[in-house]
Structure 1
């Protein structure tokens, strides 16, 4: 059955869909000897697909890897950084760094810390980051000052960012300390630096932002992670990433 080339590469664990598109645009992918074009379709069972001159087949698909990382501040959520900054991939042991196609699912900005998923399952990444799929993300956020009730109410109901209203958010005041405030914030969308931009617009700039949970997957509790460390997801956690029948993928055996 024919499919777009970037979809095939992500399904086979070569790279995420976005990265697969970049490989195609760079001329690094060939189909039946010819340089592929973005948007091109192929028949994976009969067409000869090569990446950087290496033949790609279903049999060469790597074992799926699903990780949870506690990202430190100062590390970028990419596989490679042209500015030479430390990346989340460099935090992994060599045997995992060498897993073909492993990449972060979404982003957590360089100034923030906390929960970040990594995988070589490109289809899972595509589905989890697609606008039609909403998965809650929970943050512990220190802000400067003590937000007023009207500011909290505005944050909960949503405010305008770049002409688009943010979705309602759960905002809970946890404590005050030295005229700063610790908030628990739960979002179901992930616009660029959203929490920082909303906090600044309301007049209470973020001092520190730490993501504690992605859906039901937490870096705290019985399976807590130290900053910079990682663990493999448990089978129940993999299932929790599903949303109804929209996400279906094969799970590897988990020890």
Structure 2
């Protein structure tokens, strides 16, 4: 059955949907000997579809991998880094670091720590990152200064960030001292560096940011710098959340997450 080429590449674990579109635009994908255009369709059973000259065969569809990592500070959420910094792929078992199409689902900036998923299942990536699915992500955030409740209420209701307002969010105050405030915040949108930008705009910049959970998936006992495969039950549970609202809950104790 024919379907869009970028969807086929995502299912084959070649790249995410967006990554597949970039491959097509770069002229690296051909269909029956001709460069593919965005929107072109193919049937893997009958058409000759190639990436960088290598044909994709229905009988060679790669195994899908799903990993949870505990990202340390200083590790970048990319598959390669021109500056030579460690990437999240370096946290995987060596056989999975190259040639499997594994990529991070979303990002944590280099200074942030915590839960991050990696996979070579493009459809899974799309489902967990597309705005329409609103998969919640829970963070523990340390803010500089003593944040008053009315500022947290403003954040909860949504603030103008760029040209549009952030979605309402749930924030739970954990601890507050003279020079630092610790909150748990659950986001159902993934705008670039959203927490850091909002906090800066409100006058209480982020000191530390740690992602506790993605949907119902928590780090648990996974130590900093470690990775583990998801269980079938965890994959199924994440998929069941694509169009559901996950109730805010964080029982994790307050502690400093060191780099």
Fold conserved between structures, TM > 0.5? yes
Are 1:51 and 2:48 matched, yes or no? Answer: no
Q: Choose the corresponding residue for 2:228, options 211, 224, 231.
A: 231
Could you list the per-position Cα deviations for residues 157-207 of structure 1 after superposition, in whole angstroms to 9, with x for gaps in the alignment? Answer: 111101211111111111124521111111111111111111111111100
Hey, which bits of structure 1, 4+ residues long, moved more than 4 A? 244-247
Per-residue deviation at 1:27?
1.9
Q: Equivalents in 1 of 2:106, 2:238: separation in Å?
A: 14
Rounded to whole Å, the distance in 1 between the matches of 2:84 and 2:98 is 19
Give runs of aligned pairs for residues 1-40 of structure 1, distance below 5 A: 1-40=1-40
Distance in 2 (alpha carbons) for counterparts of 1:105 and 1:10: 13
Which structure 1 residue ranges, 5 or more long, are not aligned? Answer: 248-255
Contact 1:73 / 1:111 at 8 angstroms: preserved in 2?
yes
Shift of 1:147: 0.7
Q: How far off is 1:51 after superposition?
A: 1.2
Q: Does the aligned pair in 1 maintain the 2:134–2:243 contact within 8 Å?
A: no
Contact 1:15 1:100 in 2 (8 A): no
1:111 correspondence with 2:111: yes
Alpha-carbon distance in structure 2 between the residues aligned to 1:70 and 1:245: 23
Query: 1:43 deviation in Å?
Result: 1.8
Q: Alpha-carbon deviation of 1:117?
A: 0.5
Stretches of structure 2 that go unaligned for 5 or more consecutive residues are 245-259
The CA deviation string for residues 98-139 of structure 1, in whole angstroms up to 9 with x for no partner, is 352110011111111110000010011112111111111111
**Matched residues, number:** 244
Name the SS for the 1:27 alignment partner: coil
**Which residue matches 2:138?**
138
Q: Which residue of 1 aligns with 2:94?
A: 94
Tell me if 1:194 matches 2:194.
yes
Distance in 2 between the 1:196 and 1:186 partners? 14
Match of 1:210? 210
Counterpart of 1:127? 127
Contact 1:62 / 1:99 at 8 angstroms: preserved in 2? no
Q: 1:237 to 1:112 in 2, by over 3 A?
A: same
Matches of 1:124 and 1:49, distance apart in 2: 22
- Find the residue that maps to 1:242 and give its secondary structure: helix
Contact 2:135 2:241 in 1 (8 A): no
Report SS of the residue matched to 1:132. helix
TM-score, normalization: structure 1?
0.91
Q: Work out the CA distance in 2 between the residues paired with 1:245 and 1:131.
A: 10
TM-score, normalization: structure 2?
0.89
Q: Is the 8 A contact 1:169 1:188 kept in 2?
A: yes
Structure 1 SS opposite 2:192: coil
Kindly indicate whether the alpha-carbon contact (under 8 Å) linking 2:156 and 2:168 is maintained by their aligned counterparts in 1: yes
Please give the per-residue CA displacement for 1:43-84, whole angstroms capped at 9, x wherever unaligned.
221100111221111221111101001111111111122333
| Rounded Cα–Cα distance in structure 2 between residues aligned with 1:124 and 1:144 | 36
Q: Is the 8 A contact 1:9 1:17 kept in 2?
A: yes
